[in-house]
């Protein structure tokens, strides 16, 4: 099961690289794939992201893109 999920994740990653210009721009800005994945993961634990485009825009354009609202911890 783990092998199947790993292959599915790899396939989705390759599809994003081939078809999503925002994903490519975000990954190009971060350079190494490891740095990109770490930043992407930290965004999901820090911010409430309404959609995929918002997260890719924030990674691709940095502070120029609208910054997602942080989680309400109250």
Quote the pTM value: 0.60
Which 3 state secondary structure label does DSSP give 72?
coil
The span from the CA of 67 to the CA of 74, in Å, is: 20
Q: Note the pLDDT of residue 65.
A: 47
10-residue mean pLDDT profile of the chain (74 residues): values are 94 88 85 82 79 81 61 68
């Amino acid at each position: 099961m783990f092998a199947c999920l790993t292959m599915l994740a790899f396939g989705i990653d390759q599809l994003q690289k081939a078809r999503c210009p925002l994903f490519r721009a975000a990954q190009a800005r971060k350079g190494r794939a490891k740095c990109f994945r770490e930043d992407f993961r930290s965004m999901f634990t820090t911010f409430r992201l309404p959609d995929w485009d918002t997260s890719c825009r924030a990674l691709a354009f940095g502070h120029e893109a609208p910054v997602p609202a942080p989680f309400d911890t109250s």
